[in-house]
Amino acid sequence: MTPSAPRSVAEYLESLRIELQGADPALIQDALYDAEEHLRAELAQSVESDESRVLETIINSYGSPDEVADAYRANEVRVQAALQTPRPGPRQSALGRFFGVYRDPHSYLALLYLLLAMFTGVFYFTFAVTGISLSIGLAVLIIGIPFFILFIGTARVLALAEGRLVESMLGTRMPRRPPYPDSQTPWPKRVLEMLKDSRTWGTLLYFVLMLPLGIFYFVFAVAGVVTSFAIFLAPLLLLAYHFGLVEIDGIVHTPHVLLLPLISLLGLVLLTLTMHLARGLGYLHGQLAKSLLVRPARKD
């Protein structure tokens, strides 16, 4: 082992973190989890007491930090290219770019996420508020600390699941691995580290924010789509009424027949704007999720 080679798992992870500087924080979290899981599993199977010697053998097969970092960057490019939903080709005209949103699958996925956000938001908000309240209330009892650890652990599992939903529907790269659980650390120190971890409070803040955001997203999506279709279909309904195909109670004021296509066009334009705004909101929400649910990469 060279003098600069890592002599412990902690040194290896720190070297890997430095080699991955500038990469996506979600990628860094995944790489650190995989590396620590592999190294500790190999060390646990070794009977030798000298960690540095065992680590040297493991690194020879697993790879040095710079080699692992290069492999993760290269693999990330291939995976993202394979998972990326094909986007429509670029349009030259302004109208082509405007109405090209209907050919982009990301627009429909973003709109679907906005519709689901209210239901997930209610669940996340209820979970966070209930867990925080019970943690504070039980703090004076012996059961308070185990309950808090269970609450935070469950929150991190939910954050990981939400990240997978955000990545698959909004296209924002999110972690696919949680931070590696260090079972060797005494539980008082683990509780302290959870309290000091910004991701703990970022996750809870995200869950609380999801209720107002989810309501706003749902109202926007439903109102935009329903209003657009109502305006688009209104001329057809008026024509059907004019020819006696449908009956409408009350007095119906029918605009000039030449205005009916313009009304439908207005509905189509409004629906297109809704799709563009839904995709924009999906992008902004993905950045919010990344900033609150992903452990930020340290800058050395």
Mean pLDDT value across the chain: 82
pLDDT greater at residue 154 or residue 11:
154
Residue with tokens 């079972």: 183
Question: Which pLDDT belongs to residue 181?
Answer: 60
Residues 91-129 as b or e (16 or more Cβ within 10 Å = b)? eeeeeeeeebbeebebbebbbebbbbbbebbeebbebbe
The pLDDT tens digits of the residues spanning 205-234 come to: 999 999 999 999 999 999 999 999 999 888
The pLDDT tens digits of the residues spanning 29-57 come to: 888 888 888 888 877 777 666 667 777 77
Q: Are the C-beta atoms of residues 198 and 294 closer than 8 Å to each other?
A: no
- Specify the range with the lowest mean pLDDT, choosing from 28-32, 45-49, 97-101, 181-185: 181-185
> Which residue in 24, 30, 28, 1 sits closest to 15, CA to CA?
28
Q: What would the mean pLDDT of 90-95 be, rounded to a whole number? A: 71
Q: What pLDDT band is residue 114 in, cutting at 50, 70 and 90?
A: very high
The C-alpha atoms of residue 83 and residue 160 are separated, in whole angstroms, by 19
Q: Are the C-beta atoms of residues 144 and 138 closer than 8 Å to each other?
A: yes
Question: Does the pLDDT at position 1 exceed 60?
Answer: no
pLDDT greater at residue 171 or residue 276:
276
For residue 91, CA distances in Å to 48, 96, 118, 208 come to: 63, 5, 34, 40
Residue 116 in tokens: 């689901």
Q: What is the dihedral of CA 35, 40, 41, 42, to 10 degrees?
A: 90
The C-alpha atoms of residue 86 and residue 103 are separated, in whole angstroms, by 10
Q: What pLDDT band is residue 127 in, cutting at 50, 70 and 90?
A: very high
Residue 81 in tokens: 């290219």
Q: What would the mean pLDDT of 60-75 be, rounded to a whole number? A: 85
- With helix as H, strand as E and coil as C, how does the chain read? CCCCCCCCHHHHHHHHHHHCCCCCHHHHHHHHHHHHHHHHHHHHHCCCCCHHHHHHHHHHHHCCHHHHHHHHHHHHHHHHHHHCCCCCCCCCCHHHHHHHHHHCHHHHHHHHHHHHHHHHHHHHHHHHHHHHHHHHHCCCCCCHHHHHHHHHHHHHHHHHHHHHHHHHHHCCCCCCCCCCCCCCCCHHHHHHHHHHCHHHHHHHHHHHHHHHHHHHHHHHHHHHHHHHHHHHHHHHHHHHHHCCCCCCCCCCCCCCHHHHHHHHHHHHHHHHHHHHHHHHHHHHHHHHHHHHHCCCCCCC
Question: Which pLDDT belongs to residue 292?
Answer: 92
Q: What would the mean pLDDT of 155-177 be, rounded to a whole number? A: 90
